Structure 1
């Protein structure tokens, strides 16, 4: 996979990740370890909640998004290094959802004080197999320039 440096990026550029199929076992295992709320752990308990059924933790969706971007979706040469951001979960992630991430470069700002890097604002939308947007992550990422030869 081609790796991208700051000078390789431009506003409007898009990247598409591979996919990840989420099942009930993964949802419950993540929730047990990191977000042990009834609507992430138990079908019956989840029925009478805002979700109306078992739903993955938003943090689980975020973790899958990160993995998909690292492995196949956002090929930054020196890694995906966060400097801040905003996350939204417009719809719940459910067992059986097949997730993928579509990322778009929104802005590139070269650093004035550190000429070897800049900040790229990237919007990553995590979608399921029906095209439902489950998460929107607007991240400010530290991206390095290509090293001198």
Structure 2
């Protein structure tokens, strides 16, 4: 098990990749973000995107899928997240893209009120198969501290 005390500022992680499919882009958009440029090639062609693109919220969900699998595989003592800061969608994500997710620890802080947990801030960057940044944010994750015994 990886606990709060095992995490150090400056530490980096390669969380993995995600293949973006047309079917998933359209399915997500129908359910959660039904804007025309997420649903139709014809509508998207008339916009900044130029072609069908994933919702930014879908990009967040795909990123979370990659990170969650990594955290489970690494047996991290995570307790969830109170939120994210500085979320930026930098470039469109298209069907056929391969997203690569990586992070760098920028802060660790033991809780003052709950001695059994700490918080970890991570700069997360998502790039496409060309190495272009498509999304960036800072996450805050709560983690268990190593038990005393």
Task: Please provide the CA RMSD for this pair.
Answer: 1.6
Corresponding residue for residue 25 of structure 2? 27
Kept in 1, the 8 Å contact 2:16–2:102? The answer is: no
Distance in 2 separating the partners of 1:79 and 1:144: 6
Change over 3 Å in CA distance of 1:99–1:17 after alignment to 2: same
1:61-112 per-residue CA deviation (whole Å, 9 max, x = no partner) reads: 0001001001126846233611122211011111110112001100001111
What is the TM-score when the length of structure 2 is the normalising length?
0.91
TM-score (norm 1): 0.91
Counterpart for residue 89 of structure 1: 89
Partner of residue 16 from structure 1, selected from 6, 10, 14: 14
For 1:76 and 1:132, locate their aligned partners in 2 and report how far apart those are by CA, in whole Å.
Answer: 30
Mapped pair 1:40 → 2:33: no
Worse overlay, 105-114 or 46-55: 46-55
Given that residues 4 and 77 in structure 2 are in contact (C-alpha distance below 8 angstroms), is that contact kept between their aligned partners in structure 1?
no
Deviations 1:9-61 (A, max 9, x none): 11110111221111111100110111111000001101111222211000110
Report the CA distance shift for 1:76/1:9 in structure 2 as closer, same or farther (over 3 A): farther
Q: Which runs of 5+ in 1 are unaligned?
A: none
Match of 1:116 in 2: 116
- Cα distance in 2, alignment partners of residues 70 and 85 from structure 1: 15
CA–CA distance in structure 1, aligned partners of residues 10 and 120 of structure 2: 12
Number of residue pairs the alignment of both structures matches? 147
Instruction: Check the 8 A contact 2:44/2:51 in 1, yes or no.
Output: yes
